[in-house]
Amino acid sequence: MALQAGGSAADGTEAPLLPSSVAPGTTMPAGGGAAPRRNRFAFVCATLASMTTMLHSYNLTLMSGAQLFIREDVGLSDAQVEVLTGSMNVFMLVSILAAGWVADRLGRRCVLVIATSFLMVGALAMSLGGSYATLMAARFVTGIGAGFARVVAPVYNTEISPPSTRGVLSSLLNIFINLGVLLSYVSNYAFSGLPVHLGWRVMYGVGVVPPVFIAAGILLMPESPRWLAMRGRHGDARAVLVRISDTSTEADLRLSEIKHAVAQQPEQHALGGSTHGGGSVWKELLLRPSASLRRILLCVLALQFFVPASGVEAILLYSPLVFKAAGMTSTAAALGVTIAIGAVKMCFILLGVLLTDRLGRRPLLLASTAGVAATTAALALTLAVGGASAAAQAVCVAAVLAVVAAYSVGYALVVNTYSAEILPLRLRAQGLGVGVAVNRLVSGLVTMTFISVADAITMPGCFFMYAVVTAVAFVFVYARLPETKGRSLEDMDVLFNK
């Protein structure tokens, strides 16, 4: 049974107005109906899942300051520093491409525990490494865990969230990603005064303990109701939905929609048979997609490409080098400013979280891409003509903070949420895996070549190039992306069929 907005149930009682009860092809009017109860249990589950991405971003961004000390302690060349810094993004591809299949086989929760285990072992190995080869091996182990976390955490959050707060709960990922970035900058600065051979090892060593507690918390949270329904466990799925929905009526409606979506899948896939997560999924995804699925994949892959191609991750990982290019000679001062970067990023991500379910995904993406293009061009201009004076350094810092602010309020925040929610249930894990693989491959390319490209076309030239790419992203968002705010996950096919 499907409830129409403001309509009646089959027994004649008045149906409550729920976000997921909107008729296919329509959206909830702003401010319509009574305000839904904010579900605390769904919030706790999404928070625990999101913490795995904090571990990933901490280990990734820690290299921003740690590289200055690793270079001296281990004796690395510029080329080795580039590869070590960006290699984790490439290593992640191994688990990213496998994450969808593994998550459909073992469940979202189990894969998140596996991810935290790899992240813990990788951090320990990194803190004990003494050569370029051992550090690369440690980055590989960390990359495996990070890849699982980056794919499965957004899938779990999307599937565990009520439609009324899906934007906010999905955005928790970005809050914790940024918290990891901020903590890595604080760690860089706090331990920079230790002896060279010890400081960077302590930076990584403090990342060993948190995964243990996060894994224990994940084991206490329920499995995704949509995964349970895909396995035919409808009773278990309803029990979870009752706990994470705004009302029990909404839980029944959501279960009905999920069962209908599962029923449309090939029998083997729905029951976890031989083709579940296997050949039939990849054929439908890549070889014989429907017209609506092609539009969805275009949006997912383009967004996941444009985010790292904007070059903001290069700023996050190489900000001390950017500040030194502007004339800042003190390593301690450069590392201190990175804390301001993390703080600004956190503030604007929180602002974006507040706006994503109010303004919608599309307006935030348009404002953010336009802002990143303009501020990145301003940073390039500052580096090109500013000189090395104190005023020029201040302007450079302000420009970097402006880029990070514009990026964080929408671009960094909305893309993963949008990608996960528009993919159909049967393809969500694998489809997001492909998207994140593109994201990490481009990110690895950008971060592993930044120093070389800056030497070849100058650092201002790099940032002018990134500004042009982001301007193209703005045009794409304007021309191709529909709004998804207030729609149920099972209604996305209707939206992209238009």
d(Cα 122, Cα 59) in Å, to the nearest integer? Answer: 9
Which of 24-38, 125-139, 353-367, 446-460 has the least mean pLDDT?
A: 24-38
pLDDT bucket at 3, cuts 50 / 70 / 90: very low
CA atoms within 13 A on the CB side of 48: 23
Lowest mean pLDDT among 266-270, 334-338, 445-449: 266-270
Q: Which of 34-48, 240-254, 434-448 has the lowest mean pLDDT?
A: 34-48
Q: What is the mean pLDDT of the chain?
A: 83
Instruction: Tell me how far CA of residue 54 lies from CA of 150, 159, 169, in angstroms.
Output: 10, 20, 15
pTM assigned to the model? 0.72
Q: Give percent above pLDDT 90 in the chain.
A: 40
* pLDDT at residue 1 is higher than 50: no
Over 70: is that where the pLDDT of 492 sits? yes
Least confident of 106-110, 126-130, 422-426, 438-442: 422-426
Which ranges of 107-195 does DSSP label H, i.e. alpha helix?
Answer: 108-128, 132-160, 166-190
Six token digits for residue 93: 């591809």
Q: What is the mean pLDDT of residues 347-354?
A: 88
Using CA atoms, how far apart are residues 136 and 441, in angstroms rounded to an integer?
17
pLDDT at res. 320: 86
First to last CA, the chain: 24
Q: How far apart, in whole angstroms, are the C-alpha atoms of residue 435 and residue 416?
A: 9
pLDDT band at 487 (very low <50, low <70, confident <90, very high): confident
**Could you tell me which residue, 335 or 134, shows the higher pLDDT?**
134
Q: What is the mean pLDDT of residues 406-411?
A: 91
For residues 155 and 277, the answer to whether their CB atoms sit within 8 Å is no
**pLDDT score recorded for residue 10:** 34
When pLDDT is cut at 50, 70 and 90, the band that residue 8 belongs to is: very low
The residue ranking higher by pLDDT, 370 or 385, is 370
Say what the pLDDT of residue 266 is: 55
Give the confidence band of 265 by pLDDT, cuts at 50, 70, 90.
Answer: low
Instruction: Give the confidence band of 217 by pLDDT, cuts at 50, 70, 90.
Output: very high
Does the structure show a pLDDT above 50 at 275?
Answer: no
pLDDT of residue 124: 95
pLDDT band at residue 14 using 50, 70 and 90 as cut-offs:
very low
Q: How much is the pLDDT for 32?
A: 39
Q: Please give the structure tokens belonging to residue 168.
A: 């906010």
Region of poorest pLDDT, from 10-19, 123-132, 177-186: 10-19
Q: Which range has the worst mean pLDDT, 235-244, 281-290, 373-382, 475-484?
A: 281-290
User: Residues 142-187: pLDDT tens digits?
Assistant: 999 999 998 899 889 888 888 777 777 877 888 898 899 899 989 9
pLDDT at 12: 36
CA distances from 357 to 163, 167, 176, 455, 489 (A): 10, 5, 19, 43, 15
Angle between helices 78-106 and 312-325 (to 10 degrees): 160
Higher pLDDT among residues 456 and 248, named by residue: 456
Name the β-bridge partners of 14. Answer: 8
Amino acid identity, position 151: V
Q: What sign does the CA torsion over 88, 299, 278, 52 have?
A: positive
Lowest mean pLDDT among 25-34, 104-113, 345-354, 399-408: 25-34
Query: With contact defined as beta carbons under 8 Å apart, do 219 and 113 qualify?
Result: yes
Region class of 277: left (phi > 0), else alpha (psi between -120 and 50), else beta: left
Residue 230 CA, chain-centre distance (Å), reads: 25
Lowest-confidence segment of 109-118, 153-162, 299-308 by average pLDDT: 153-162
Weakest mean pLDDT among 10-24, 181-195, 387-401:
10-24
Token pair for 397: 């810092």
Render pLDDT for 428-453 as a digit per residue (tens, 0 to 9).
878 888 888 899 899 989 988 998 99
Q: Would you state the structure tokens that stand for residue 139, as one six-digit string?
A: 């980055």
